[in-house]
């Protein structure tokens, strides 16, 4: 389904769409307010951008540094060139441990690799432990937002779901009550799991440690009780120095949810005695994106979701309308690199207003890259309807006489033709838009009458 | 060729100009550290108190299963440290020491030296962190300067109780980890 079709689907429930729009704008507003309390905010964005630019320019070196130091710390390091290899490595570790059930905290990378269905097919029960992720997992849905996975659902729907799955009281929609039910349900899973999977927010080359940030504490509950911790990390998550964390931790939570820092920020360097930590370094299209110079700096993304919260299209079309693991503006510049045909409508799901670039904590020029992708896509796939109308327009603009005649024809046509013809399904521009009032005269005619 | 070599080789094959790595300044303006730290913690839904208020609370809290890693409060400990962290499942209160606190966001640093089990601050129902007033820094840059090259297997910043807003953006305290955080400034 194309983005406009999927967005139309989302907009059918107008009250919910309005709520979605307003709620995400509220998060954006919180981000604005807290960023204004830091006088050096813009300096931090510049530093973060430069640190990431530098890291990408020496990515091979920092990957080897990270590996060397992680191995020294007793971490086992694996490399996966694609999603399939990543999934195979995870399954291999589980099979070696004879493990049939795991807990997993939020990891967009494992969503990208479709790890859950793969493990389930191989007889492993996967429990997502982030509350929002558990909710969408119960519904067999992917997250609709990378930071707020269940933002497309209302509490009534969650109450119904929990009544069915966790036997909560019918009709009790109190978020505290529902969260408590999930806490009891998930605690049992935490206590039983022998392997826990997490994502990685930052990998530090200098120390071979990695950092995982949560508010719920679910990543830590999982890994500290399990015997084996598997951390799945995209190769672009690296930063050179431990002190760089100061810059990124100041930016991440403020940009994501408008809070000064996440409540738990865990630095994993060595396993507890007798336990294991595995890190899987995953490429899956990242080196290909690195090779595309115009799109390279999309790899600086730290997955805060600020571009989604601010985007007028995302807020009014919902995460699922994008049909890609990472939705919104950043998803629309990452996904075409993975599959240009499948995601060909995403770079057009933007007004190019530039708000995404303005809020991005690592200063990715998102709106400019959207524009660049449009050109790549039009070159490759073309666009029949538009190219035909452009050819006609070009003919009209070349001839002054044709221009004059077609102008007066259009003015009378728009006034006199029935609305049903103008707002015809073929004219997709007319959907959700009104044509302007047509003037009586062209500018040339008006000038002749009034000024000459 | 291994995937490791394949990934590294494809990166090496991409022409990139070397971009400079900037120095990170420590920023910060002289501020009232205790006041800012307290304000940040309250914003994160933690409570802040002094030691006499804490002892008063502790005596009247009615908590039965308490573990203190701090000698001063050892007399309140009713739980001996188990070998397996799973046995902390019913722990009601853990009293731990924080190495230092960060005024700008209320984050408190602990590492393996303060953690009898890494799971303890998460699995306990309620958490108390004791932080010396003299051990406060302004921001995260100064925090990492303070951590410096310290080598611990595990370290973390805790800035508040476990929380979530995944249901309609309504803030709920006590998702999976500790349902409350009390910070005692000494």
Judge whether B39 lies within some domain. yes
Q: What is the DSSP letter of B79?
A: S
Total of domains in chain B:
1
A101 min Cα distance to partner chain B (Å): 17
d(CA A255, CA A149): 16
Q: Which of residues 380-409 of A touch B (CB under 8 A)?
A: none
Helices (H) then strands (E): counts for chain B:
5, 11
- Residues in chain B within 8 Å Cβ distance of A271: 153
Q: Which residue of A has its CA nearest to B163?
A: A216
Q: What is the DSSP letter of B141?
A: H
Task: Tell whether A225 is within 8 A of chain B (Cβ).
Answer: yes
d(CA A145, CA A366): 17
Q: Above 60 in pLDDT, residue B185? A: yes
Q: What integer pLDDT is reported at residue A129 of this predicted model?
A: 98
Subunit contact A250:B139, Cβ cutoff 8 A: yes
Task: Tell whether A132 is within 8 A of chain B (Cβ).
Answer: yes
Subunit contact B159:A80, Cβ cutoff 8 A: no
Subunit contact B169:A270, Cβ cutoff 8 A: no
Subunit contact A220:B27, Cβ cutoff 8 A: no
Q: Above 70 in pLDDT, residue A421? A: no
Q: Above 90 in pLDDT, residue A412? A: no
Judge whether B152 lies within some domain. yes
Judge whether B94 lies within some domain. yes
Predicted interface score ipTM higher than 0.95: yes
Q: What integer pLDDT is reported at residue A394 of this predicted model?
A: 82
Subunit contact B144:A245, Cβ cutoff 8 A: yes
pLDDT classification of A434: cutoffs 50, 70, 90: confident
Sorted by sequence, the CB contacts under 8 Å of residue A329 that are 6+ apart come out as A307, A308, A311, A314, A350, A356, A366, A367, A370
pLDDT classification of A441: cutoffs 50, 70, 90: confident
Percent of chain A beyond pLDDT 70? 95
- Residues in chain B within 8 Å Cβ distance of A24: none
DSSP 3-state of B178: coil
Judge whether B155 lies within some domain. yes
Helices (H) then strands (E): counts for chain A:
22, 10
Reported as a single tens digit per residue, the pLDDT across A48-65 is 999 999 999 999 999 999
Q: Above 80 in pLDDT, residue A419? A: no
Q: Which of A395-409, B33-47, B54-68 has the lowest mean pLDDT?
A: A395-409
B139 min Cα distance to partner chain A (Å): 8
Q: What integer pLDDT is reported at residue A397 of this predicted model?
A: 83
Q: Above 60 in pLDDT, residue A384? A: no
A119 min Cα distance to partner chain B (Å): 22
d(CA A381, CA A350): 19
Q: Return the residue in B153, B161, B178 with the most chain A beta carbons within 10 A, the one to mutate for interface testing.
A: B153
Q: What integer pLDDT is reported at residue A379 of this predicted model?
A: 87
Partner-chain residue, chosen from A58, A131, A246, that has the shortest CB–CB distance to B143: A246
Judge whether B53 lies within some domain. yes
φ/ψ of residue A223, rounded to 5: -75, -35
Q: What integer pLDDT is reported at residue A393 of this predicted model?
A: 79
| Cβ-contact A379, A387 below 8 angstroms | no
From the CB of residue A132, how many other CB atoms can be counted at a distance below 10 Å?
24
Q: What integer pLDDT is reported at residue A389 of this predicted model?
A: 72
The mean per-residue pLDDT over the stretch A232-255 comes to 98
A307 min Cα distance to partner chain B (Å): 18
Residues facing A213 on adjacent strands: A265
- Residues in chain A within 8 Å Cβ distance of B160: 263
Reported as a single tens digit per residue, the pLDDT across B3-53 is 999 999 999 999 999 999 999 999 987 789 999 999 999 999 999 999 999
Q: Above 70 in pLDDT, residue A425? A: no
**CATH, residue B169:** 3.40.50.10420
| Cβ-contact A73, A208 below 8 angstroms | yes
Q: What is the DSSP letter of A139?
A: T
From the CB of residue B97, how many other CB atoms can be counted at a distance below 10 Å?
22
Q: What integer pLDDT is reported at residue A438 of this predicted model?
A: 81
Q: How far is CA B97 from CA A250, A262, A268, A308, B94, in A?
A: 24, 20, 19, 39, 10
Judge whether B11 lies within some domain. no
Q: What integer pLDDT is reported at residue A381 of this predicted model?
A: 74
Q: Above 90 in pLDDT, residue A413? A: no
Reported as a single tens digit per residue, the pLDDT across B139-179 is 999 999 999 988 999 999 999 999 999 999 999 999 999 99
Reported as a single tens digit per residue, the pLDDT across B63-119 is 999 999 999 999 999 999 999 999 999 999 999 999 999 999 999 999 999 999 999
Subunit contact A260:B105, Cβ cutoff 8 A: yes
| Cβ-contact B142, A244 below 8 angstroms | no
Subunit contact B118:A53, Cβ cutoff 8 A: no
User: Which range marks the domain in which residue B145 is found?
Assistant: 31-185
Reported as a single tens digit per residue, the pLDDT across A261-273 is 999 999 999 999 9
Task: Tell whether A108 is within 8 A of chain B (Cβ).
Answer: no
Judge whether B127 lies within some domain. yes
- Residues in chain A within 8 Å Cβ distance of B172: 175-176, 179
Q: What integer pLDDT is reported at residue A56 of this predicted model?
A: 98
The mean per-residue pLDDT over the stretch A275-300 comes to 97
Rounded to the nearest integer, the mean pLDDT of chain A is 94
Q: What integer pLDDT is reported at residue A386 of this predicted model?
A: 64
Q: Above 90 in pLDDT, residue A424? A: no
Q: Is A39 exposed, middle or buried (0-12, 13-18, 19+ CB in 10 A)?
A: exposed
Subunit contact B164:A216, Cβ cutoff 8 A: yes
The mean per-residue pLDDT over the stretch A435-451 comes to 86
Judge whether B41 lies within some domain. yes
Q: Which residue of B has its CA nearest to A105?
A: B176
| Cβ-contact A307, A328 below 8 angstroms | yes
Q: Above 80 in pLDDT, residue A142? A: yes
Q: Above 90 in pLDDT, residue A180? A: yes
Subunit contact B153:A183, Cβ cutoff 8 A: no
């Amino acid at each position: 389904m194309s983005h406009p079709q999927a967005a139309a689907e989302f907009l059918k429930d107008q009250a919910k769409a309005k709520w979605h729009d307003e709620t995400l704008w509220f998060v954006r507003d919180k981000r604005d307010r807290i960023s204004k309390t830091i006088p050096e905010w813009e300096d931090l964005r510049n530093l973060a951008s430069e640190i990431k630019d530098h890291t990408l320019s020496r990515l091979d070196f920092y990957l080897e540094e990270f590996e060397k130091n992680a191995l020294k710390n007793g971490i086992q390091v694996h490399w996966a060139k694609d999603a399939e290899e990543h999934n195979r490595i995870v399954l291999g570790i589980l099979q070696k441990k004879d493990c049939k059930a795991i807990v997993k905290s939020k990891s967009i990378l494992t969503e990208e690799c479709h790890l859950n269905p793969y493990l389930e097919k191989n007889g492993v029960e996967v429990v997502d432990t982030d509350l929002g992720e558990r909710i969408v997992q119960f519904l067999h849905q992917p997250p609709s937002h990378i930071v707020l996975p269940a933002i497309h659902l209302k509490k009534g729907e969650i109450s119904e779901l929990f009544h069915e799955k966790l036997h909560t009281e019918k009709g009790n929609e109190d978020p505290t009550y529902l969260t408590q039910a999930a806490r009891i349900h998930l605690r049992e899973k935490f206590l039983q799991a022998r392997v826990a999977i997490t994502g990685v927010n930052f990998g530090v080359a200098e120390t071979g440690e990695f950092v995982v940030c949560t508010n719920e504490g679910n990543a830590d509950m999982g890994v500290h009780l399990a015997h084996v911790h598997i951390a799945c990390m995209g190769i672009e998550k690296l930063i050179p120095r431990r002190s760089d964390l100061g810059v990124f931790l100041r930016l991440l939570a403020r940009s994501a949810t408008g809070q000064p820092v996440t409540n738990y920020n865990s630095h994993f360097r060595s396993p507890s005695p007798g336990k294991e930590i595995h890190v899987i370094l995953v490429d899956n299209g990242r080196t290909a994106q690195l090779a595309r110079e115009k799109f390279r700096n999309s790899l600086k993304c730290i997955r805060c979701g600020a571009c989604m919260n601010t985007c007028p299209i995302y807020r009014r079309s919902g995460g699922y309308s994008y049909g890609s693991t990472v939705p919104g503006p950043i998803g629309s510049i990452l996904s075409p690199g993975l599959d240009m045909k499948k995601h060909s409508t995403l770079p057009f799901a933007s007004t190019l207003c530039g708000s995404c670039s303005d809020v991005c904590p690592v200063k990715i020029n998102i709106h400019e890259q959207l524009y660049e992708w449009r050109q790549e896509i039009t070159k490759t796939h073309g666009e029949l309807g538009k190219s035909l109308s452009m050819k006609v327009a070009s003919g009209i603009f070349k001839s002054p006489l044709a221009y004059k005649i077609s102008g007066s024809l259009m003015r009378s046509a728009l006034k006199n033709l029935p609305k049903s013809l103008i707002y015809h399904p073929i004219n997709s521009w007319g959907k959700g838009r009104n044509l302007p009032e047509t003037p009586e005269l062209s500018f040339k005619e008006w000038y002749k009458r009034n000024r000459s | 060729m291994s995937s490791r070599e394949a990934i590294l080789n494809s990166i090496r094959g991409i022409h990139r100009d070397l971009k400079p790595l900037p120095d990170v300044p420590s920023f910060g303006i002289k501020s009232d550290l205790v006041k800012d730290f307290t304000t940040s913690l309250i914003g994160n839904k933690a409570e802040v108190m002094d030691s006499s208020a804490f002892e008063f609370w502790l005596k009247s809290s009615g908590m039965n299963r308490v573990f203190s890693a701090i000698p001063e409060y050892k007399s309140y400990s009713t739980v001996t440290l188990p070998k397996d962290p799973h046995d902390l499942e019913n722990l009601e209160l853990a009293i731990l020491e924080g190495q230092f606190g960060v005024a700008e966001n209320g984050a408190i640093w602990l590492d393996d030296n303060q953690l009898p089990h890494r799971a303890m601050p998460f699995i306990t129902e309620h958490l108390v962190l004791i932080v010396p007033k003299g051990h406060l820094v302004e921001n995260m840059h100064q925090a990492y300067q303070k951590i410096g090259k310290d080598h611990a297997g595990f370290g973390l910043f805790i800035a508040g109780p476990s929380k979530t807003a995944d249901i309609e953006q309504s803030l709920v305290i006590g998702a999976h980890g500790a349902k409350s955080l009390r910070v005692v400034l000494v």
